[in-house]
């Protein structure tokens, strides 16, 4: 495996990429389950990210194959903090340390490229994989918003994690 993070471009939007979001496992703890994700919609989303100075959207590529995304948003904040969110859309790649690696890479960029002071992320309690990914990268639990999220007709606490850089 040879992993690379690269700013996502419109040309990277493929049917296979759009299909990630229709996968119930992938969308299990994501607001994507409420949205109709389309090819044109994703193209427009990627274009907006490319044009924005506030958000950078990276694709995760394994030897050229697009397998996931990670975004960092809030880059213009006076507070020098940004939010990250990530997905490994190709589920055959799960459980091999890729999520952990991708977050480690964005931490490195947050420090050295974006010169931020803090990263943060929120997730549904129950998203065990995502929780592990953050904790393995040193994120600390900063707060719990009780029954803040509803996925698949079930309410979950939202866990807010932060990392001081």
Binding positions for ligand COA, rule: CB under 6 A: 26, 29-30, 85-88, 94-100, 123, 127-130, 132-133, 136
3-class DSSP state of 20? helix
SS (H, E, C) 38-76: CHHHHHHHHHHHHHCCCEEEEEEEECCEEEEEEEEECCC
Query: Smallest distance from the beta carbon of 104 to ligand COA, in angstroms?
Result: 9
Q: Is 115 left (phi over 0), alpha (psi -120 to 50) or beta?
A: left
Query: Smallest distance from the beta carbon of 101 to ligand COA, in angstroms?
Result: 7
Residue closer to ligand COA (CB basis): 14 or 96: 96
Buried b (16+ CB within 10 A) or exposed e, 141-155: eeeeeeeebebeeee
Both tokens of 8, joined, read: 């996502």
Query: Smallest distance from the beta carbon of 78 to ligand COA, in angstroms?
Result: 25
Q: SS3 helix, strand, coil % of the chain, rounded to 5? A: 30, 35, 30
Residue closer to ligand COA (CB basis): 31 or 54: 31
Residue closer to ligand COA (CB basis): 28 or 53: 28
Query: Smallest distance from the beta carbon of 80 to ligand COA, in angstroms?
Result: 22
Query: Smallest distance from the beta carbon of 160 to ligand COA, in angstroms?
Result: 11
Residue closer to ligand COA (CB basis): 115 or 124: 124
Residue closer to ligand COA (CB basis): 78 or 161: 161
């Amino acid at each position: 495996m040879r992993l690379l993070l690269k700013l996502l471009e419109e040309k990277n939007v493929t049917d296979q990429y759009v299909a990630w979001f229709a996968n119930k496992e992938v969308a299990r703890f994501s607001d994507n389950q409420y949205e109709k994700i389309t090819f044109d919609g994703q193209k427009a989303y990627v274009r907006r990210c490319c044009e924005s100075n506030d958000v950078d959207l990276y694709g995760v590529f394994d030897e050229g194959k697009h397998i996931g995304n990670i975004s960092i948003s809030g880059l213009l904040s006076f507070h020098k903090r940004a939010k990250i969110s990530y997905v490994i859309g190709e589920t055959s790649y799960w459980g091999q340390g890729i999520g952990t690696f991708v977050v480690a890479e964005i931490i490195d960029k947050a420090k050295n490229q974006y010169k931020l002071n803090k990263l943060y992320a929120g997730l549904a309690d129950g998203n065990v994989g995502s929780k592990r990914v953050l904790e393995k990268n040193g994120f600390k639990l900063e707060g719990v918003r009780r029954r803040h999220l509803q996925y698949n007709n079930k309410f979950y606490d939202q866990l807010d994690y932060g990392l001081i850089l």
